[in-house]
């Protein structure tokens, strides 16, 4: 990703995006329309911190580009920053890299309520919570944290379920059509 003009504020939307789906796009739309962030950086995980098996990184980046293409291209960036950093992907490392490399201090972290409940497992949680503001995406069955901007529960879609449907020969309608084309062309998850 090339940064032409330094934004005053960004929202980091990290994840495996294995594959990205319409729920991810809805989250991006909600963040851009309901907050004052200047840019949304979609950040595919380089190496998952908990050793989750992932499709090829470049393919996941291509799928993210295809999925988020319908959103405002001036405000949405697909970022390969975690590949630039290398090693195990940890949010605090990404935030500190962005601050030192780009000088951006107003960083919001977009995270699902299900993942937010696991924050005690995050590397240097106390430092991260001091450096960033969190935008929590509501998920059915997970508590809404107090004092944190939280969306209503959005579309209940899971990349895990999508991979399962594909492995069973089903064509899920919960991935954007351009993402489905990449999945078919690369024979992913079959």
Give the CATH number for residue 84: 3.40.50.620
168 found inside a domain: no
Q: Which residues of the chain have pLDDT under 70?
A: 1-5
pLDDT at 43: 97
Kindly provide the residue ranges of all beta strands, DSSP E only, lying in 65-190, ordered along the sequence.
76-78, 106-112, 133-137, 149-150
How far is it, in rounded angstroms, from Cα 89 to Cα 82? 6
The sign one gets for the Cα dihedral 52, 28, 127, 91 is positive
The pTM for the full model equals 0.90
Per DSSP, the three-state class of 75 is coil
pLDDT at 1: 47
109 found inside a domain: yes
170 found inside a domain: no
pLDDT at 2: 47
166 found inside a domain: no
How far is it, in rounded angstroms, from Cα 175 to Cα 77? 19
Residues ≥6 apart with Cβ < 8 Å to 118: none
pLDDT at 5: 63
DSSP sequence for 17-57? -SS--HHHHHHHHHHHHHS--SEEEEEE-SS-TT------H
How far is it, in rounded angstroms, from Cα 19 to Cα 157? 11
| Structural domain boundaries enclosing 70 | 9-155
The pair of structure tokens assigned to 125 is: 């949680």
184 found inside a domain: no
Kindly provide the residue ranges of all beta strands, DSSP E only, lying in 16-146, ordered along the sequence.
39-44, 76-78, 106-112, 133-137
- Domain total for the chain? 1
Between the alpha carbon of residue 49 and those of residues 82, 122, 169, the distances in Å are: 12, 9, 30
169 found inside a domain: no
147 found inside a domain: yes
106 found inside a domain: yes
Q: What is the pLDDT of residues 153-182, one digit of tens each?
A: 777 888 999 999 999 998 789 999 999 999
Q: What are the beta bridge partners of residue 41?
A: 12, 77
């Amino acid at each position: 990703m090339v940064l032409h003009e330094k934004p005053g504020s960004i929202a980091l939307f990290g994840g495996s995006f294995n594959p990205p789906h319409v729920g991810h796009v809805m989250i991006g739309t909600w963040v851009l329309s309901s907050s004052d962030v200047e840019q949304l950086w979609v950040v595919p995980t380089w190496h998952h911190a908990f050793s989750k098996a992932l499709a090829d990184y470049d393919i996941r980046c291509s799928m993210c580009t295809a999925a988020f293409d319908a959103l405002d291209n001036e405000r949405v960036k697909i970022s390969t920053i975690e590949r630039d950093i290398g090693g195990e992907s940890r949010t605090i490392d990404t935030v500190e890299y962005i601050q030192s490399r780009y000088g951006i201090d107003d960083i919001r972290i977009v995270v699902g309520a299900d993942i937010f409940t696991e924050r005690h497992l995050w590397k240097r949680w106390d430092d991260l919570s001091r450096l960033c503001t969190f935008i929590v995406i509501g998920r059915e069955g997970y508590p809404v944290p107090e004092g944190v901007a939280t969306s209503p529960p959005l579309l209940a879609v899971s990349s895990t379920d999508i991979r399962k449907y594909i492995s069973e020969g089903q064509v899920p309608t919960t991935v954007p059509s351009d993402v489905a084309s990449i999945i078919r062309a690369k024979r992913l998850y079959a």
